[in-house]
Amino acid sequence: MKIVIRNSLFSFITFFLGACCLAVALQYSADSSGFPRAVALFLIILASADLIRTARGRTVAADAPEEVSLWDDRKYMTAALLVFLSAPAYVVLARLFDFEIATFVYLVVAMYALGLRRPILIVAVSIGALVIVKGLFFVLLDVTRSATLIIGT
Amino acid sequence: MFEDSLLGLAALMDPAMILAIAVGVIGGILIGILPGLTSTLGVALVIPITFSMPPQVGLAMLGGIYVASTYSGAITAVLLNIPGTPAAVATLLDGYPMSQKGEPTRALALSTFGSAFGGLISVLALLFLGPILAKVSLLFGPPEYFLLAVFGITVIASLSAGAMIKGLMAGGIGLLLSTVGYHPLTGEMRFTFGFPALFDGIPLVAALIGFYSIPEVIDMIARRDDKAPEATDGDKANPYRYIGEVLRQGTNLIRSSFIGVIVGIIPGVGASVGGFVAYDTAKRSSKTPEQFGKGSPEGVLACETANNAVTGGTLVPLLTLGIPGNPVTAVMLGGLMIHGLQPGAELFTANADIVFGFIFSLFISNLLLIPIGLVFAKYCVRIVRVPKAILAPIILLLSIVGTYSIRSSFDDIFIMFAIGAIGFFCQRFLVPRAPLVLGLVLGRLAESELERSLALVGGDIGAFGIQLITRPIALGLLLLSVYAVYQGYVQHKRHSKLLDD
């Protein structure tokens, strides 16, 4: 993706964010929303100025590459998808069953999905990580565990 | 005072004291390395354990945890680009690039020596200047606090050299995120959309974990077949050989320590801001500012020295006035009271042996940081050679469990991922992330103090403006902020011109 398009896209998103926040902030009392209103307005002005600069062709930072990979970099998008889907899946597993089961299943599946093909290593690392995390957080630091929906502990 | 100091010094002869300090330092390092666990949590968890100990020993252990956990956030920042604690956010800027250049041992050695030096200077400040500095901090009213936050925010201009507008936009987004939650004066909810987990605002630690660890895990997965950076020949050597390099940067060390102590004394500002301000100042004073952000040893040393110098600084108002300046010292105040100590001027006379023993124990904690920290660093360096297919899921797991552990809330995990998505977009859009963090960290302070300042003058903006220029400290901070923006602009222009040429 062209660097100019990427910069414009960021400015446009910032403009949109500023406009939405300003619209929401205007619904609150003036006493409570002076600061967010001012910041949102600042963002709108800044993003508009940057979009105008872009239109005039004066926006590219001197050290920026000519083109950058963004959505077109399949590796990054696949990785992002993996992270944003696998982690909520882990949370759901932990809520449904138990921390130990969820952690073990999650680690085994994640390592296998990332290309590790040594079953003994996968199982050993999963058990090791599980013991360390459980020992540190839930035994030593006594972090409260939520009741799970199926096992119920 | 001299006799009292001797009493405190004598307390260190007790082997139990040294053992407590060592245990505190080791525990603190472990806490700092784990995402989600902060100095506050570490100190809070250990207070019940110290009940049964003599006050001096218990306080020494708490001090060891505070000092070491502030330092050890740098270990994951350098090796994994994930700050273990908020204090280490500025360390990412140059620590991780150094590690990527094949110099992780050098970066960790500089962090360790810098932290120890900053910590030692802050203990000396606590010992000799404590009561005087505490009185100065009392001169800060809402306008001064507001301008202090503004001054911190102006650092954005320098952190974004080369991409100033994007940096300012990122800073603005951070400021907007900081307004989520109840209004500091009216209590009205803003931008929470009925989501209870946001009522108290975006949890800072969860946000930092998401903002840095999620993009890093994605990057690891995407580049899992790439080889880990090979350590350079020089970096394989003994970390103690970097003492000379550290000492050659005497001005940077002393300046950053001074900044850390001052920032620490002022309640409510925090170690992360100390790190950023020292980093920014080091960059402005450096002969090679273009190296900052690309693995500059000066940058690593500045922020690590300053964030540990904050520790002694925060104890000045706590011990002399009984005012806790940050969450850790608020918890430590509880620890002092549990041991029957009432902070204030009398503490230095009625319980001189205990308070001076505590101050000297902090000195020892900072000295012990060097051998213990370097042993940890030596083994932690091996993390970078672990296959990414193993490392990425474990980091993600630690991020999730670490975030959950803050408030035992699953909602925080989803907030962490939402912030992680913002971090990922920033990374892909080549937007500097540090300004956003700075906006998030300082936004609440800036807003609440601005509102308080306005309330004091009945909402009259003209009167507020007059206050800013008639109060000496406020005027000084205002001029500093203007100068910082001007310097940032000059640097930005110079940077662009250099690259154009």
To the nearest whole Å, the CA of A55 is away from the closest chain B CA by 15
Q: Which of A32, A79, A136 sits opposite B183 (nearest CB)?
A: A32
* Partner-chain contact A46 B172, CB within 8 Å: yes
Indicate if the pLDDT at residue A59 is higher than 60: no
Indicate if the pLDDT at residue B255 is higher than 90: yes
- The pTM assigned to this predicted structure is 0.78
Q: Which pLDDT score is estimated for B147?
A: 87
* Partner-chain contact B424 A49, CB within 8 Å: no
Residue A63 in domain: no
Q: Which pLDDT score is estimated for A45?
A: 94
* Partner-chain contact B169 A43, CB within 8 Å: yes
Q: Which pLDDT score is estimated for A62?
A: 46
Of B225-234, B302-311, B401-410, B422-431, which has the strongest mean pLDDT?
B302-311
Find the closest chain B residue to A84 by CA distance. Answer: B417
- Residues B319-337, mean pLDDT to the nearest whole number: 77
Per-residue tokens: B62: 């708490």
Find the closest chain B residue to A141 by CA distance. Answer: B45
Indicate if the pLDDT at residue A151 is higher than 60: no
Interface with chain A: mutation pick from B166, B431, B440, highest number of A CBs within 10 Å: B166
Interface with chain B: mutation pick from A114, A134, A140, highest number of B CBs within 10 Å: A114
By CB atoms closer than 10 A (0-12, 13-18, 19+), residue A141 is middle
| Domain residue ranges in chain B | 2-500
Q: At what angle do helices B472-500 and B461-470 cross, to 10 degrees?
A: 90
The band of B350, judged by pLDDT with boundaries at 50, 70 and 90, is confident
Query: Which DSSP string do the residues of B343-400 spell out, in sequence order?
Result: -STTHHHHTHHHHHHHHHHHHHHHHHHHHHHHHHHHHHGGGGGS-HHHHHHHHHHHHH
Which has more pLDDT, A69 or B396?
B396
**A63 to chain B: which residues are within 8 Å by CB?**
162, 495, 499
Say whether both A31 and A82 belong to one domain: no
Half-sphere exposure of B483 (CA within 13 A, CB side): 9
Of B111-120, B213-222, B225-234, which has the strongest mean pLDDT?
B111-120
- Residues B13-20, mean pLDDT to the nearest whole number: 87
- Distance of alpha carbon B93 from alpha carbon B111, whole angstroms: 13
Q: Which pLDDT score is estimated for A71?
A: 53
- Residues B368-374, mean pLDDT to the nearest whole number: 92
* Partner-chain contact B169 A137, CB within 8 Å: no
- Distance of alpha carbon B394 from alpha carbon B201, whole angstroms: 28
**A88 to chain B: which residues are within 8 Å by CB?**
414, 417
Say whether both A133 and A80 belong to one domain: yes
Per-residue tokens: B4: 């009292």
Indicate if the pLDDT at residue B267 is higher than 80: no
Residue A7 in domain: yes
Percent of chain B with pLDDT over 70: 90
Which has more pLDDT, B222 or B228?
B222
Indicate if the pLDDT at residue B116 is higher than 90: yes
In sequence order, the 6+-apart residues with CB closer than 8 A to the CB of B334 are B47
Residue A81 in domain: yes
**A149 to chain B: which residues are within 8 Å by CB?**
none
How many Å is the Cα radius of gyration of chain B?
Answer: 22
**B390 to chain A: which residues are within 8 Å by CB?**
111, 116, 121, 125
Which has more pLDDT, B141 or B38?
B141
Q: Mean pLDDT for chain B?
A: 83
Q: Which pLDDT score is estimated for A114?
A: 86
- Distance of alpha carbon B272 from alpha carbon B88, whole angstroms: 7
Least confident of B47-51, B227-231, B275-279, B405-409: B227-231
Interface with chain A: mutation pick from B29, B156, B160, B430, highest number of A CBs within 10 Å: B430
Q: Which pLDDT score is estimated for B367?
A: 94
Looking at the structure of chain A, the number of domains it has is 2
Residue (of B12, B111, B29) closest to B65 by Cα position: B29
Indicate if the pLDDT at residue A68 is higher than 60: no
To the nearest whole Å, the CA of B294 is away from the closest chain A CA by 13
Torsion, Cα of B214, B216, B220, B223 (10° steps): 120
To the nearest whole Å, the CA of A21 is away from the closest chain B CA by 8
Cβ B306 vs Cβ B261: under 8 Å: no
* Partner-chain contact B496 A61, CB within 8 Å: yes
CB atoms within 10 A of CB A2: 12
Q: How many CB pairs below 8 Å do chains A and B form together?
A: 171
Q: Which amino acid is at B17?
A: M
* Partner-chain contact B169 A88, CB within 8 Å: no
- Distance of alpha carbon B127 from alpha carbon B120, whole angstroms: 11
**B163 to chain A: which residues are within 8 Å by CB?**
61, 64
Say whether both A49 and A84 belong to one domain: no
Residue (of B8, B3, B2, B6) closest to B356 by Cα position: B8
Indicate if the pLDDT at residue B488 is higher than 80: no
- Distance of alpha carbon A14 from alpha carbon A20, whole angstroms: 10
- Residues A102-127, mean pLDDT to the nearest whole number: 91
Sign of CA dihedral B154, B156, B159, B161: negative
In sequence order, the 6+-apart residues with CB closer than 8 A to the CB of B41 are A141, B31, B405, B406
- Distance of alpha carbon B479 from alpha carbon B168, whole angstroms: 20
Cβ B399 vs Cβ B47: under 8 Å: no
Q: Which of A39, A79, A84 sits opposite B222 (nearest CB)?
A: A79
Residue A16 in domain: yes
**A10 to chain B: which residues are within 8 Å by CB?**
166, 169, 429, 431
Cβ A114 vs Cβ B393: under 8 Å: yes
* Partner-chain contact B408 A88, CB within 8 Å: no
To the nearest whole Å, the CA of B393 is away from the closest chain A CA by 6
Per-residue tokens: B408: 């035992």
Q: Which pLDDT score is estimated for B233?
A: 54
- Distance of alpha carbon B192 from alpha carbon B182, whole angstroms: 9
Cβ B162 vs Cβ B496: under 8 Å: yes
* Partner-chain contact B176 A76, CB within 8 Å: no
How many Å is the Cα radius of gyration of chain A?
Answer: 24
pLDDT, one tens digit per residue, over B174-198 is 999 999 999 888 889 999 988 888 9
Interface with chain A: mutation pick from B388, B390, B391, highest number of A CBs within 10 Å: B390
**A79 to chain B: which residues are within 8 Å by CB?**
218-219, 221-222
Q: How far apart are the first and last CA of chain A?
A: 50
Find the closest chain A residue to B405 by CA distance. Answer: A143
List Cα–Cα distances, A27 to A22, A33, B194, B202, in angstroms: 9, 9, 15, 21
Cβ A42 vs Cβ B443: under 8 Å: no
Percent of chain A with pLDDT over 90: 34
* Number of alpha helices (DSSP H) and beta strands (DSSP E) in chain B: 21, 2
* Partner-chain contact B221 A83, CB within 8 Å: yes
Three-class SS of residue B181?
A: strand
Domain that includes residue A122, residue range: 74-140
Say whether both A78 and A123 belong to one domain: yes
Least confident of B148-152, B250-254, B445-449: B148-152
- Distance of alpha carbon B74 from alpha carbon B95, whole angstroms: 8
To the nearest whole Å, the CA of A121 is away from the closest chain B CA by 10
- Distance of alpha carbon B458 from alpha carbon B143, whole angstroms: 14
Buried b (16+ CB within 10 A) or exposed e, A84-123: bebbeebbebbbebbbbbbbbbbbbbbbeebebeeeeebe
To the nearest whole Å, the CA of B491 is away from the closest chain A CA by 13
List Cα–Cα distances, B423 to B216, B239, B419, in angstroms: 9, 33, 6
Q: Which pLDDT score is estimated for B229?
A: 62
**B223 to chain A: which residues are within 8 Å by CB?**
75
Residue A65 in domain: no
Indicate if the pLDDT at residue B256 is higher than 90: yes
Residue A134 in domain: yes
